[in-house]
Amino acid sequence: MDTSNLLMAFGLTLIAGLCTGIGSLLAFFAKKTNTRFLSVALGFSAGVMIYVSMIEIFVKAKDSLVEALGKTGGSWATVAAFFGGIFLIALIDRLVPSGENPHEMRKVEDMGKSQPEAGNGRLMRMGLFTAMAIAIHNFPEGLATFTSAMKDPSLGIAIAAAIAIHNIPEGIAVSIPIYYATGDKKKAFKLSFLSGLSEPVGAIIGYLILATFFNDVVFGVLFASVAGIMVFISLDELLPTAREYGEAHLSIYGLIAGMMVMAVSLLLF
């Protein structure tokens, strides 16, 4: 593997993951959530992810698997891996309680609302559940960014940007429950910021596991699974959250803009 590509892939994954810290800062220092901006931004992120997954990543995965397994076997393997990625991320979402799920929508204004009294034990459990939820959700995203950047640096940059945008409101969603679990804004920011490290950790673990036997079949299955994961994240998390944050049309405008930008960038680069 190309060392320069490897370093860039890790760097992109790290930057995308740590963008949760931007969301944390918004949660603590902004007076009001800019819901219209977040709605467009999340729609844009979803548009980038959906377009690149279906037009670029799925096709590259299929080409790789067809070359290794033949047309029939490769086509079936691509479809199986794509839906396997969807089922994997759907299972992860089902296992994480909605109250601690970092993709549940929250606003900066929620910081000012009084919370029901709870014992220290319950608050601690809430903080632990939240931290676990962040790591679980970000892990496959890190692997997706890293894998894409390793195969095609320009593709990796686009996906990293989309995931970075998606991580900003996630940082807001993460900071608020941790703040109420600990009563400490600095600690909430630190944990939220560091939670983004689960994305490069996902990339590192994926690389260490796959590096020794990385071939066309492994790449094709992994890439098709990544496409499924990103499509599910877009449809299940980004678009619904975008519609809740602002006007429904804004999220769709952002979605179309994201697709257009991704389409043009693929043609140019």
> Which tens digit of pLDDT belongs to each residue from 81-112?
999 999 988 887 777 655 545 455 555 555 44
Binding residue per annotation — 104? no
Whole-number Cα distances in Å, 169 to 23, 87, 176, 198, 233:
5, 24, 11, 17, 14
* Digit-coded pLDDT (tens) for 126-153: 555 655 666 666 777 787 788 778 777 8
Annotation-wise, does 166 bind a ligand? yes
What is the pTM for the complete model shown? 0.72
Q: Which residues contact 138 (CB under 8 A, 6 or more apart)?
A: 17, 167, 195, 196, 198, 199, 202
In contact, 237 and 103? CB cutoff 8 Å: yes
pLDDT number for residue 31: 58
pLDDT of res. 84: 96
199 in a labelled binding site: yes
Q: 117 a known binding residue?
A: no
167 is in an annotated binding site: yes
| Residues written for the chain | 269
Instruction: Kindly tell me the number of DSSP H helices and DSSP E strands found in the chain.
Output: 12, 0
Q: What is the pLDDT of residue 116?
A: 46
Q: Indicate the DSSP class of residue 99.
A: G
Residue 247 marked in a binding site = no
Comparing CA positions, the residue from 169, 233, 167, 241 lying closest to residue 197 is 167
Contacts of 86 (CB under 8 A, 6+ apart): 228, 229, 231, 232
- Return the pLDDT at 256: 94
